[in-house]
Structure 1
């Protein structure tokens, strides 16, 4: 059995590949047709026979009801099963991915070796449910163990294996695949590399370039050739014709990465009639279609660099990964300092297979899991050696430990173990190291040179006879550089949603894994009464980077109700939350501890995504984005809010609404585009959240100045000269706070100004003003009691009965509180009464 895992798999959206470590490099394992990669496509025949790869991909075009591709984009969703119509069989995205993994395992087994474990890559932007789904696919494929590695890190392993490393510097991994985009910043120092930051988009990939080519180039050409106008993204009945056009677009895009033009000649069948499409597509066509997506990828690159505190001038080179990175426009923009990044592009590796090869190189540094090694049978009388060591590293004297096991030996006293380095000249030995009575041992090896070392193992019994062992050698590769981190980094922030719609962070994006996060000092905002059976404590666990809690994905929640507690829990009770994220990005051991009860409650982690919305829901959300944008534009103009205006201008320059409309059209016929459109709508709302946040200070400043003006009017009108000095002080302090941008001070001075205004107004006039406000707010209210109270108030004013009016105002207050509109501040979750999914947990804020 191998000492190290050695096999790396790139489970891609469009194509997948497997490679095996060969020393410090890697070799791709070709499939049965001799190709280095296998299309990530599955088809099922009428008889139930499953095919994977090129033949299945061809069926996606010819027979879309019985073939499926690009299912990686649906990983983690429970409503995305593919029905293969002829066989009547359904498969989930995890099962489809498992079929691809089984095909890759088969490629290895054609070489005579059984594959039990592998390193499998995932996009850095994959969410917790998507990584969990990848692990499930590996299990369904029969792999007994799997290690997940983020794709940019894998690519860095491949590039750095063949590169002359600088003493220090930064590289940028640009991973533009079929369905996702990742940008990762790699720091190189003292011969080692670390991924220090990343940014990405799980819905930004080459597939969207294909659809843009269909809509902008091929559909117009097809209609000009006599194709019916009803063939469009809005018509689900024409999915077969659209599938053909998309396939033609993808094929032409690939050809145009190396040539200036290509001729498309194909019969497209619609309702049984073949329409001949003949069209010359050019590289300029591809560049126009790709430009918005490439520009978006550059923005992600700049975001990754900015998050690492870097400028493009600090980066030595860009490493290209993924099939879409071969589009000529990508090379041009990355190298262009004005339109792109101005960074030298490294084209030394094949971007299609670089991730698989990098995963294999990394796998060559990872020990074979002991659970797999222990499961292998050993001959009678053979001692099993369970070793604990690092197969590769930078140490001259690496540590190795282990334990000897045998049914025939109960006490290992008197036994020794010796390791001989047969690589060095002269050979070196550890000498005989005594085993502990329980069979454990520990020693230092000597590996002084930059080379791969092999150590022969000699286990001897108390009389000095050598005993047979299940492994004769152990290896250690001493590398001078190019070693990456064993510890992965968290891709998305994990936190707790609070009652004010903010997030308290548990494990931050970029944290080294495994990581345990704890939050102390949370307080409940609602009482649980066990006797009355009322009240609830809800703690949502969220994944995402949005400031607003309700913009992030709910990955777990705890609901405590009266039956769950032993006694009443008062509002304001402290709650502590803790969870752990493993090296494979899985959320485990999530719990909440309530000191008042001295009890810990497990938080259920549910990584199943909710059902995708229908097209009508998406269109309604798109309309809301438009209305909200217009409202914020008006507010920014009225308040002369420069920063908010700049954020809205960027919203326009990024073509957000144009992209949403395109995705809505695609979502009508492409299920993957539904999820992409939903994600884009969320990002659009988040961008508007930011504009709304930037309006906060100008809005508060405007409210403060209005309060001062109202107070001045009241003081002047009612000749309240004793309040003039106090108001002047408030006005001065207000302007200073506005100049300093201190929103808290502005709000305090605003309250002081309103207090001065009220004190300046005679008491009877205050009752009149309050009733006037209620008339404006509740004038259209149809409830009989409200109508009666308003009528009574008017009557009290007519008779100048101010005492009666004050009583009417007191009763109207509760109706006014119920009818209070969601104001501008409420839209951001900071207004009164705002909760997140019924959460009654809040931060313990001063």
Structure 2
């Protein structure tokens, strides 16, 4: 009987695999074909017949209407269904993934005589909450009866490399390029603890992107020309079968190029009249490398970002651990080894890149105890509540517990010991007398780098052994202990000004809690029918909330209030995430003595429709070109560098291709939406960099104005504050941080206003600004009359009357088009 989960599953885009931790080592659970991995493909030729794996994948060319592949990225979207034409069935990506998991579970049942109750299942590091939630749902549908913990794919790979690795102190980086996703992670092994320091990833970057590029830019144009195929596009349903053939050929050709410089792609394609014709194409490694180069550069950039967040550089990393089938590419390995273009870190491919994630998941599974069903003991039966580490890097550990039996017993006359008869030489702990309440602690010595299985021996007052449940425990001793689950992506809220404020930070160990005070930005009156303060809950790492994924919303509605809520009222936000990554968010309003819960529904997200994606893509391309022109005009080196990085990775053209594929492929639509948000965020950075000179000039002018005012009417505390602002301005010359500059500008403006009030000239400044805008006012004639009156007030030094006149002028200003202030919450800025 197993004490820990022990089984690990790599649920992949292209292939899936299961491994098991057994007898202190890790082994793959082979399928019926005696292969270590199973293609993530489902074939339903008719109702009641489902085939998963190689048999399904082999049918893709002959029966594409009844085979489904690459459904992993579409998990977590409520409106996605994959059709099987002949049977009339349609399955969701969750249901399809469940079929793959069910097959792997069946493979384990055939080998061990019983299907595992649970398995640790891997997910990409960049998977969002709705996608991880969908993975858990798939595990339930597959028949796992106990909760299945999820672990990030690069973390699992690190566990596989770190398991029994005796390096005392080192830094590693995982480079995990899979079929549909890319993940990188920075890992440390220090004093027996294996810890992920930071990670970065892209759920839309993988081997399938290379396959798609081969099809779209090489094979499809050549086939259309050679065979005379009209309107030959991926999104044309008439050519769906041909594109299925080309996709298979592209993948097979790419794999063959790992061993040779060129290969022949030979396929039977359908002509327009439905007749087959042979298509032959010579696929060359250099052509594929050219297509893959921008994708490789994107992956390398993500690695560098993960290193920077961990405050490390490539020279600090001892080994680059290669994971995923595409890392077999000689060109990619050559690029990664290059310190200038790649990372320059020593490559380690000692593990099979196709199975290493499953192996690492099994290693982690050995640290997770299986839930035991509590059974009430009968009279004369003895039960134990035990506490001990399932895995440890220590050579001696305490095993604590409490013994119980109906009616109780004189426990001080009972003794307990742990016995490992299989060890050579055999080992048994010292016998320990139980305390009067039935508690005990036994110290057990462990065999190094081994799975230690102990029989629990409970002796009654006569010295005879009595049956006890559980009657055995297992403790695995290994070199590196694994840290627990972490927050995959930061979760927080969008403030009223659009800023994203993370509350549960990425890489925080789970379970995690956080709370922080905010303040309302508008007054909410009970009589304001339909009015509400809305607090969006979002997931991601982008600075602007709209560039992240919305996962929930808190609404404080006027109609629900017992009294008015003034602007500036405190709102205390509480965030919590458990080890299963379930999130709860509560807003507490002390003034009302009320709490408002967030609605976090991860099962309602839908795939964006193609027209929306095309519109968003057009906006991205227009903005991209506009910023390119501005970069050339301003000659900002930093902005030019950001733009070149974006262009070098070929992101915008590749997203356009995914948008084109969205008509027939919902996975492409999901990927395109996420990548459009990413491109917009990168364009935000370029735009912000272009604003740096303007913002710095404004702050400089404000500082000069403040200097004049401080000289005239300033006190000592004003001089001190001005000196702080000047130091902040000096730092901005190097950091060029626009948000920080805007904050400094606000601080300088506050100082200006206080000094102008003291000087008596604030109302004159306001009047002069309004006078400059009189031609834009709703009634120019009335505005001119008020301006003349204001000039008289100033000439006669009638200062008390000037504020009232300014209010009358301000009322004539046109609506700026922005409407009412954003109703939300904001941090208190200092």
- Residue 795 (structure 1) shift: 10
More off after superposition, 143-152 vs 591-600 = 591-600
Q: Does 1:321 align with 2:304?
A: no
SS in 2 for 1:133: helix
Does structure 2 retain, via aligned residues, the 8 Å contact 1:738–1:746?
Answer: no
Q: Is the 8 Å Cα contact of residues 528 and 534 (structure 1) preserved in structure 2?
A: no
Kept after mapping to 2: 8 A contact 1:24/1:361: no
Matches within 5 A, 1:44-443: 44-111=44-111, 112-145=113-146, 146-161=148-163, 163=165, 165-271=166-272, 272-371=274-373, 374=374, 383-404=382-403, 408-411=406-409, 413=411, 414-422=413-421, 423=423, 425=425, 427-434=427-434, 437=437, 440-443=439-442
State how many pairs are aligned.
796
In structure 2, what is the equivalent of residue 741 of structure 1? 732
Q: Which residue of 1 aligns with 2:800?
A: none
| C-alpha contact 2:46 2:86 (8 A) present in aligned 1 | yes
Cα deviations by residue, 1:489-515 (Å, 9 ceiling, x for unpaired) = 222111122111112221111111221
The CA deviation string for residues 2-52 of structure 1, in whole angstroms up to 9 with x for no partner, is 122211111111111111113332111111122211111112232232221
Structure 2 residue 491 is the aligned partner of structure 1 residue 490: no
Q: 3-state SS of the aligned residue for 1:398?
A: strand
Asked if structure 1 preserves the Cα contact closer than 8 Å seen for 2:699 and 2:744, the reply is no
Is the Cα contact below 8 Å between 2:548 and 2:677 reproduced in 1? Answer: no
Deviates more, 1:306-315 or 1:621-630: 621-630
Is this contact kept in 2: 1:708–1:750, CA < 8 A? no
Q: Which residue of 2 aligns with 1:772?
A: 775
Q: 1:610 to 1:596 in 2, by over 3 A?
A: same
Of residues 585, 592, 598 in structure 2, which corresponds to 1:597?
592
Distance 1:735 1:526 in 2: 32
Corresponding residue SS for 1:367: coil
Contact 1:417-1:435 at 8 Å conserved across structures: no
Write out per-residue CA displacement over residues 211-245 of structure 1, whole angstroms, 9 at most, x where no aligned residue. Answer: 00001211122123214031212424322211111
Q: Mark the CA change 1:472 to 1:763 in structure 2 (over 3 Å): closer, same or farther.
A: closer
Task: Work out whether residues 387 and 400 of structure 2, in 8 Å CA contact, stay in contact via their aligned partners in 1.
Answer: yes
Alpha-carbon distance in structure 2 between the residues aligned to 1:486 and 1:96: 31
Distance between the aligned counterparts of 1:333 and 1:27, measured in 2?
32
Does the CA contact (< 8 Å) of 1:796 and 1:802 recur in 2?
no
Equivalent-residue separation in structure 1 for 2:764 and 2:567 (angstroms): 38
Contact 2:783–2:812 (Cα < 8 Å) also in 1: no
The alpha-carbon distance between structure 1 residues 100 and 412, as it changes in their structure 2 partners (threshold 3 A), is farther
Question: Structure 2 vs 1, CA of residues 530 and 179 (structure 1 numbering), >3 Å: closer, same or farther?
Answer: same
Q: Secondary structure at the match of 1:26?
A: strand
Would you say 1:553 and 2:537 are equivalent positions?
Answer: no
In structure 2, relative to structure 1, the CA distance for the partners of 1:298 and 1:801 (3 Å cut) is closer
Judge conservation of contact 1:389–1:399 (CA < 8 Å) in 2.
yes
What is the CA-CA distance between 1:469 and the residue it aligns to?
Answer: 2.8
Give the match's secondary structure for 2:103.
Answer: helix
1:507 and 2:540 aligned? no
How much does 1:556 deviate? Answer: 2.2
Give distance in 2, aligned partners of 1:485 and 1:349: 19
Whole-Å separation in 2 of the counterparts to 1:55 and 1:814: 75
1:612 and 2:607 are equivalent in the alignment: yes
Q: Which moved more, 1:322-331 or 1:604-613?
A: 604-613
Decide whether aligned partners of structure 1 residues 646 and 680 sit closer, same or farther in structure 2, where only a CA change above 3 A counts.
same
SS in 2 for 1:496: strand
Alpha-carbon distance in 1 for matches of 2:343, 2:364: 29
Distance 1:740 1:284, change over 3 A: closer
Are 2:538 and 1:542 equivalent residues in the alignment?
yes
Are the structure 2 counterparts of residues 817 and 95 from structure 1 closer, same or farther at C-alpha, using a change threshold of 3 Å?
Answer: farther
Check whether the contact 2:392–2:481 (CA below 8 A) recurs between aligned residues. no
* Counterpart in the other structure of 1:718: none
Aligned to 1:522: 518
- Answer yes or no: is the 8 Å Cα contact 1:401–1:440 preserved in 2: yes
Once the two structures are superposed, the pairs formed by residues 712-723 of structure 1 within 5 Å of their partners are none
Task: Name which of structure 1's ranges 101-110 and 415-424 shifts more when overlaid on structure 2.
Answer: 415-424
| Alpha-carbon separation, structure 1, partners of 2:732 and 2:451 | 61
Shift of 1:71: 0.9
The Cα shift of 1:549 comes to 1.3
Distance across 2 between alignment mates of 1:417 and 1:467: 10
Secondary structure of the corresponding residue to residue 59 of structure 1: coil
User: Secondary structure at 2:119's aligned position in 1?
Assistant: strand
Question: Is the contact made by 2:168 and 2:192 (CA closer than 8 Å) also made in structure 1?
Answer: yes
Any idea what the Cα deviations from partners look like across 1:355-398, whole Å, max 9, x if unmatched? 11121122223322224xx47x9999654444332122122331
Distance of 2:468 and 2:474 partners within structure 1:
16
| Deviation (angstroms), 1:404 | 4.2
* 1:599-643 residue CA offsets vs partner (Å, 9 max, x unmatched): 333322222363222222222222222332344345455555443
CA distance in 1, matches of 2:726, 2:535: 41
Does structure 1 residue 841 correspond to structure 2 residue 825? yes
Measure how far apart 1:736 and its partner are: 9.4
User: CA 1:646–1:739 in 2, change beyond 3 Å: closer, same or farther?
Assistant: farther
Distance 1:220 1:262 in 2: 18
CA RMSD of aligned residues (A): 3.7
The change in CA–CA distance for 1:460 and 1:602 in structure 2 (over 3 A counts) is: farther
With 470-479 and 614-623 compared, the bigger mean Cα shift is at 470-479
1:571 has 2:567 as partner? yes
Q: Which moved more, 1:284-293 or 1:743-752?
A: 743-752
**In the aligned structure 1, how far is the partner of 2:542 from the partner of 2:442?**
49
Partner secondary structure for residue 173 of structure 1: strand
Give how far 1:567 is off: 3.4
Asked whether the equivalents of residues 496 and 540 of structure 1 are also in contact (C-alpha less than 8 Å), the reply is yes
Cα contact 2:15–2:40 (8 A) shared by 1:
yes
In 1, Cα distance between equivalents of 2:2 and 2:98:
24
Q: More deviation in 353-362 or 659-668?
A: 659-668
Relative distance call for 1:245 and 1:379 in structure 2 (3 A) is farther
Which residue of the partner structure matches residue 581 of structure 2? Answer: 585
Alpha carbons of 1:644 and 1:343: their partners in 2 closer, same or farther (altered >3 Å)? same
Write the distance in 2 (CA, Å) between the matches of 1:735 and 1:473. Answer: 69
> Residue 179 of structure 2 contacts residue 326 of structure 2 at CA under 8 Å; is this kept in 1?
yes
User: Counterpart in 2 of 1:780?
Assistant: none
Report the CA distance between 1:563 and its aligned residue: 4.3
Distance 1:572 1:750, change over 3 A: closer
CA distance in 2, matches of 1:764, 1:392: 74
CA contact under 8 A between 1:24 and 1:161: conserved in structure 2? no
In structure 1, the residue matched to 2:624 is 629
Q: Note closer, same or farther for the CA distance 1:336–1:620 as it changes in structure 2 (3 Å cut).
A: same
1:366–1:390 CA contact under 8 A, matched in 2: no
Mapped contact 2:702–2:748 kept (Cα < 8 A):
no
Distance in 2 separating the partners of 1:404 and 1:307: 48
* Structure-2 separation of matches of 1:760 and 1:458: 89
The answer for the alignment partner of 2:43 in structure 1 is 43
CA distance in 1, matches of 2:789, 2:458: 109
Are the counterparts in 1 of residues 703 and 726 from structure 2 also a CA contact under 8 Å? no
Secondary structure of residue in 1 paired with 2:445: coil
When residues 790 and 433 of structure 1 are mapped into structure 2, their CA distance, relative to the original with a 3 A threshold, is: same
CA contact (8 A) 2:169 2:190 kept: yes
Q: How far apart are residue 417 of structure 1 and its match?
A: 2.7
Which residue number in structure 2 is paired with residue 781 of structure 1? none
3-state SS of paired residue (1:55): helix
Decide which of 666, 669, 673 is 1:674's aligned counterpart.
669
**What is the CA distance between 1:149 and its match in structure 2?**
1.5
